[in-house]
Structure formats: C-alpha cells, structure tokens
Amino acid sequence: MDKGKIVVVDDEKIVTSAFKALLKVEGFSDAHLFNSPKDALEFLKNNQPDLVISDFLMPEMNGLEFLSEVKKLYPEVSKILLTGYADKENAIRAINEIGLYRYIEKPWDNDDLIINIKNGIERSYLLSELRAKIKELEGAKKELEKYSHNLEQLVEERTADLRESNAKLEGIFSYCADGIVIIDEDGIIEQVNPACENLVGRISSKLINTSIDDYVTNKKTFISKELHTLEGTELMLRDFFVQNPLMHTQTPVDISFACINPDEENKKYVGVIRDITEQKKADKLRDDFIATLTHDLRTPLLAAIQTLTFFLNGTLGEIDEKQKVLLATMQKSNEDLLGLVNALLEVYKYDAEKLTLTKTNFRIYDLVKQVYDELSPLAASKKIEFGIECENKETVINADRSELRRVICNLCGNAINYTQEEGKVTISLKVEGNDLIFSVTDNGSGIPAEDIPNMFQRFSQGTSKKRSTGTGLGLYLSRQIIESHGGKIWLESVLNKGSEFSFLLTDTIVNGIKGEREGSLV
C-alpha cells in the first residue's frame, strides 16, 4: 500500500496551507486541498480517496453535510472531522449518523494528527480489501457452479483466502490498542481482546459469561439498558468508567458499539473501549486555564468601570455631551465583558463541581415577584402584557435562593427579549405534592423542533433562526443549576406561536399548603 490519496477541505486558506506543508513533510505526495466543499465534491466524483478530512464550520455547507455527501459516494472511506471545543457534541453525533472515523479538536497536535491520518488510510485499505474478498467469494460461488468438476481445488483456494482474511482480522482484534468486547443484547460478554483484559484487570476466562455492567459503570445508566433502547445499529457512550479491582482504579473511557448481526433475532454487539485518561487531563488543564484567565480579568474590568463612573458622575470634573456618550458606551462594553467573564467562571465552577449550593428556606413567590418587579420596566417599554399565575403565595421551598434567582431572571428575561411588542409573557408557579413546577410562557416567534435539543448545550447561540446573539451560556448554566438541585429543566415550543420554558424541583417544598388560586394575574 502506498501513502494514499488524501482530500482536505477547510474554508480557511491558512489551514489548508498548514496541511499542505505538514503532509509534504510526512511524505504524502497525493494530497488534494480545497477551500470550498462544493469544489471538493466535484473532484471526488471522479477520484476515489483513501481519507477525507473536513472542517466543521464552513459557509457553503458544514462538515456534517459535506461528509454525508462523501459517504454517499464512498461509504467505506475513512472520514475525519475537525472541530472546535464547543462542537464536540456535533462531532459525537456524526459518529453515529455518518460513520465518522475520528474527530480532532482544534488546535491539534501534529504527531497525533499524522497518526490518525495513517490509521485512517490503513482502515480504508483494510475495508477495501475486505470488500474485495467478499466480491471474490461471490465470484467463487459462480465459478463453483460453472466448474463443478474442479470443486475441490476451488474450495481449497478460497479457503486459503479466507484463512488469510481471518488472520488479518484476528491480528487487528489481538493487537488493537483499544479494548474490544463482543456482547449479546443483555450485556453478557462473549469475547474480549488482550487490551480489554488489561483495562479490566481480569483474564478472558473470568470475563466471559459475566455482565459488562459489572466492570463498565456510569452513575446514570447501564450499557445493557442502552442497548435495549438502541434504534439503529451504532451507539456512542460517554462518561463511563472501567473498574479494575486488581489495581483498584477507575479508568475514564468512551465506548462505541455496533451491531454485527442486525438482521438476526439474537443480536450481538462489538464494542470498542477507548481510554481517555490523557484527554481528561488535557480538558482539565484547559478549563483551569480558562478559569484562571477569566478570574484575573475581573479586577482590571472593575477598575475600568469604576473609573468611567467617576468621569460620568462628574467626580473628575465636567465633561461635554459627546464625551458622556462615548464614555457611557465604553462603560456598557466593559460591563458586558464583565458579565461574560462572570458567566464563564460560574460555568467552570459547575463543570468542575467546585460550587456548593447554599440552601435556605424562603417563599418562592417572593423571589419570583422580585424578579418580576425588576423586569417589568423592560416589558412595559415593549408594551408586553407581563403577569404571574400562582396557586399558593405562601409556599416555602428549600433551595439556593441566589442561584435559583439567576435561572428565573434568565428564563424571564429571554421571554421578554424574544417576544414582539404588544405580546404576552406569563410566569406560572404550581405545586404538585412535594414538587414545584416553574414555567414562563411567551407568544413569540417560537423555536424550530430540530433546534430544541441544542438549546441547553454550552455555547449554543439559539437556533438556525438566530433567536439569540448572546454567549450561549445562560441556558446551559440554568440547566446546571437546576440539575445541581436534583431537578429537571425543559422547553416546549411551536414555531410562530411561542415557547414555554419550565423547570421542576422535586422534594423541595417545606410547607406545601394548597389553596385556591390567588390573584391569577399580578
């Protein structure tokens, strides 16, 4: 096998130039680089590659759309997606939807990139070889029918080919650095490779006929349960740990499963278990760096805001109107930047589990009314009908008041911002048993159904309709706060009719005295 034909697509010329230099140094002479995915597709129609590398965010079509078209042309060619840190969820989705071979985060490590390129080309070659063997076997069947008198000789020749193919597959299974396990649909282990034995700390004979759930764990679910809910033939699982009783360790892993006999009643699955310890360490270093950087930015920002305040209130002398407008604009920009810095710090604290909730008993209606009073002038400026519906104003809950206030402010503020003038926004408080349900409903433009699952993801900036131009942290942080309270947050929306954001806090009512609805609208 030669170096292989490589196609690279990225709308930034500096990236394709970097690829060109790197591939040339590594000896890949048959590399074709494009800044337009459409130009790349025209080239691919007449040229079969061994590996395709694509950026995720491109103006003409994104990386998922481009690689989907590549899959239609060459289903077995290895595909690598280049993503930013915020697009990991999209990259993981691509593994299931388009059979992505790898996703690599920018900026990448050159050594790691070259290894993935070589392995991807090798994978394409092996799949091509396997497909060729299958075609040979189909041809063999016809030859057996045509030349029945020479059946024995032909069988021996094809058997030798099969032995060679099986030897290759056995070599891949035995020497793969990732753990490989074959299980049935109930999670019972049937076969493991040496790498899997090393991860678990048990030999093959001790693992066979036991449940994979005994060794690979997750706080939220079981692998066997996920397999029973699997609708397609492939499954990607994250945030799992391999228990090693011999070394008394827990190894963080990502696991991908594929059904190897989808048309049979008793399905079997092959799983690839990848140790992501080093990736976790790198992620933590990156998050710690961001947290330190944002923390150190707060002091100079506060100093700048205070200095501008002195100028604006006349403490440092009189200034004219043009100067006031300019300084006020500078102050607002610094305040917006400080808000972003504070939001990043809060996200880091929740992601790193470094924030401890300070729970107290308080009347939830009083907190909602406080937020209502603060936002009423904004609603009035847009002539929006703004009100509260409450079943019992005396309901007392046990929660972190300041964190819960952050969630309510964010949900209500969004509802007002994205509702047209003379619209309607309603806050609702309900008590069911020992649970509290908060909702805010608007009759704004609504959210497309395909965008709803992404609304609570980190750095998700709204929808394809450009509903939001913010940082994409507000709803993500709201979800983190509610889930830290053991609750659930969700969204229901109908396009062009409006949206309803809600959260549920379970077992949080201190005195859930129910009465008739008091003052349906404030």
The 10s digit of each residue's pLDDT in 95-111 is 777 778 888 887 888 88
Pairwise CA distance, residues 117 & 138, whole Å: 32
Report the CATH number at residue 268: 3.30.450.20
In a domain, 136, yes or no: no
Pairing of strands 435-442, 424-432: antiparallel
In this structure, the answer to whether residues 391 and 471 fall within a common structural domain is: yes
Domain closes at, from 296, 318, 351:
351
In a domain, 467, yes or no: yes
In this structure, the answer to whether residues 346 and 365 fall within a common structural domain is: no
Q: How far is CA 507 from CA 66, 112, 487, 492, 504, in A?
A: 48, 48, 9, 23, 10
Cβ burial 27-53 (10 Å sphere, 16+ → b, else e): ebeebbbbbebeebbeebeeeebbbbb
* Plot region of 201 (φ>0 → left; ψ -120 to 50 → alpha; else → beta): left
Q: Which amino acid is at 25?
A: V
Length of the chain measured in residues: 522
* CB-count exposure of residue 510 (10 Å: 0-12, 13-18, 19+): middle
Pairwise CA distance, residues 63 & 91, whole Å: 9
Please identify every stretch of the chain with a pLDDT value under 50, giving residue numbers as ranges. Answer: 1, 465-469, 512-522
Specify whether the CB–CB gap between 197 and 210 falls below 8 A.
no
In this structure, the answer to whether residues 304 and 343 fall within a common structural domain is: yes
* CB-count exposure of residue 436 (10 Å: 0-12, 13-18, 19+): buried
Domain closes at, from 319, 351, 383:
351
Q: What pLDDT was estimated at residue 499?
A: 92
In a domain, 170, yes or no: no
Q: What pLDDT was estimated at residue 355?
A: 63
Q: Which domain holds residue 212?
A: 176-275
Q: Which residues pair with 333 in a beta bridge?
A: none
Report the CATH number at residue 456: 3.30.565.10
Closest C-alpha to 407, from 343, 362, 468: 343
Task: Indicate the helix (H) or strand (E) that contains 329.
Answer: helix 321-351
DSSP string, 52-109: EEEES--SSS-HHHHHHHHHHH-TTSEEEEEE-GGGHHHHHHHHHHH---EEEESSPP
In this structure, the answer to whether residues 30 and 81 fall within a common structural domain is: yes
In a domain, 428, yes or no: yes
In this structure, the answer to whether residues 321 and 398 fall within a common structural domain is: no
Task: Indicate the helix (H) or strand (E) that contains 45.
Answer: none
Q: What pLDDT was estimated at residue 519?
A: 35
In a domain, 159, yes or no: no
In this structure, the answer to whether residues 234 and 290 fall within a common structural domain is: no
Neighbouring residues of 337: CB distance < 8 A, sequence distance ≥ 6: 297, 301
In a domain, 167, yes or no: no
Phi, psi of 247 (to 5 degrees): -95, -5
Q: How far is CA 124 from CA 71, 131, 242, 423, in A?
A: 13, 10, 30, 56
In a domain, 137, yes or no: no
In this structure, the answer to whether residues 390 and 491 fall within a common structural domain is: yes
In this structure, the answer to whether residues 366 and 502 fall within a common structural domain is: yes
In this structure, the answer to whether residues 421 and 382 fall within a common structural domain is: yes
Report the CATH number at residue 97: 3.40.50.2300
Q: What pLDDT was estimated at residue 516?
A: 33
In this structure, the answer to whether residues 270 and 300 fall within a common structural domain is: no
In this structure, the answer to whether residues 308 and 412 fall within a common structural domain is: no
In a domain, 521, yes or no: no
Greatest alpha-carbon span in the chain:
109
In this structure, the answer to whether residues 213 and 95 fall within a common structural domain is: no
Pairwise CA distance, residues 146 & 139, whole Å: 11
Q: Which residues pair with 435 in a beta bridge?
A: 432
pTM, two decimal places: 0.44
Domain closes at, from 127, 159, 191:
127
Q: Which amino acid is at 454?
A: N
Pairwise CA distance, residues 77 & 127, whole Å: 8
Neighbouring residues of 332: CB distance < 8 A, sequence distance ≥ 6: none
Q: What is the count of structural domains for the chain?
A: 4
